[in-house]
Structure 1
């Protein structure tokens, strides 16, 4: 009996070692397992934070979901939010969702979109795109271009939306994608380096909005976080999106770092970020560069000594800081619509 117990324990230990080894190997040779785990962080149901304001706003907003736009990539759908009382072509806000490039969904901004449309009477387009590692850089910014081309070419949409007044925005990874697209529209040399043609004229692009966006991605090469989880997250996202385990030396990382690619033609911009597990230093670098170029910038950042503000704080409308950021965003959109 004792011998059988020892054999079982030995077998169990060897099995555990084998499983752990397989997991380590899987995480080492491919970004897919880790990317799947990260994507699950963004797969929860949409939870309305300020139900009172949302319930009022949704009475005045029409939502058309899962409209298909032509693209060689999958997840090529978008949601359209428009005010019920719309008598003429209206300003268009095109929004790209976050999710660390590997997850997320257009439905995640439902509360924000509904309230903004009600309060400013713009039209709001929330776009889905194929995430990494199934699609690697610069697939997402090119798929955003597919969506914009669809919006411009559809006759019914052209009658409803004023493309002379377009605002681009996004949250987290989506902010980087959206503002990179804005850089493509305003910098011909940069557009050429990406093999893209400009679709929106400089005068059509009225403004951009960045919520917690990694706008100077090259900074992640020097990330000194003591958190093992944060290091794992950064490596997973960068490897998945840039398509190489040696992403630190990737030319794509430099190309996707927007600070060095903006010029004086970049549109007025609203930028905000939290100071915990987020990209505030990148947002600050981007804001400073725009100011050097005499581009109009409104920013909201936080002093870590006075308050701790987490990534994507702006959508938690139960908090005063999120409420204030929404007011600033609403006023910014009203000014440039």
Structure 2
């Protein structure tokens, strides 16, 4: 493990999602201690029409270069607009893109397809209201962290299938893509920091409920990946999700989709939040630089 990250592993909460309300409270308390720099950003909250409406928070840099519909992580169970604010604001500042952070419905109270439908509705709304929002409809990306990245990839698949909106790029950071947990990392990383095999099992059980997994729930199940938007995929070395992210990148490449893949050595799932570590600084900076280039 990266020597700058290792001392912080004991500070992360237990890898357990058996009590979702308690897990949400812990995440909110941890995130509240992270400094947020919103310098140069115009921040606006809106509601995307629907049943129910979907809350979003828009971060607009000056002279914004494109936009991204951005989805927080949290194992489908945790996270909201406030817990994601440090990362959404950082991404907006580093990329120069308008970041549209989405408060999709959380499991287990709202299992699949609730979150997927919220995000899909948001993508359609952003594309349809691009002029009103001051966006170029040809320069809209989608992405997220962890479970949010998994939802982003699945929504990109649905958009392709239904040809419903232009998505230019996918920014997938440590994505959770496969409920089956059949990769080497999913099988062997049973006790890694913050995310373990057991926690991943809980995450998918909460998200799927009694519904059998489909490609729109777990995009690794999709058989045809051709025609999807170009993608950037980042994985952490000591993470159960690592190999499914790498395999998905390879499958996209084999389907003719341009992909940039970065496997960050010495890191674990969520370690990018340790801002004092040099490798975390590079990870966060790279997300912004990649998005800036993709939308230019």
More contact order relative to length (CA 8 Å, sep ≥ 6): 2
Gaps of 5+ in 2: 1-16
The answer to whether the Cα contact below 8 Å between 1:97 and 1:109 also exists between their aligned partners in 2 is: yes
1:181 aligned to which of 155, 164, 168: 155
Alignment root-mean-square deviation, CA: 2.8
Any unmatched runs of 5+ in structure 1? 1-31, 189-196, 245-249
Q: Is the 8 A contact 2:107 2:206 kept in 1?
A: yes
Question: TM-score of the superposition, structure 2-length normalised?
Answer: 0.81
Aligned to 1:83: 61
Q: How does 1:1-337 map to 2 (within 5 A)?
A: 34-47=19-32, 55=37, 58-65=38-45, 67-73=46-52, 76-85=54-63, 90-154=65-129, 157-158=132-133, 160-186=134-160, 188=161, 197-200=162-165, 204-219=166-181, 223=187, 225-227=189-191, 230-244=196-210, 251-252=212-213, 256-261=217-222, 262-303=224-265, 307=266, 309-337=267-295
Number of residue pairs matched? Answer: 274
Is 35-44 or 316-325 further displaced after alignment? 35-44
Query: Rg: which structure is higher?
Result: 1
Distance 1:80 1:289 in 2: 33
CA distance in 2, matches of 1:334, 1:44: 31
Q: Distance in 2 between matches of 1:101 and 1:170?
A: 12
Say if 1:210 and 1:70 are closer, same or farther in 2 by CA, change over 3 A: same
For 1:246-271, what per-residue CA distance to the aligned partner results, in whole angstroms no more than 9, with x for missing partners?
xxxx6315653323425221111111
Local SS of the residue matching 1:275? strand
**In the aligned structure 2, how far is the partner of 1:39 from the partner of 1:313?**
18
TM-score, normalised with respect to structure 1:
0.72
Deviates more, 1:309-318 or 1:112-121: 112-121
Cα pair distance change 1:254/1:219, threshold 3 Å: farther
- Aligned residue for 2:70, secondary structure, equals strand
Structure 1 residues 48, 211: closer, same or farther in 2, change over 3 A?
farther
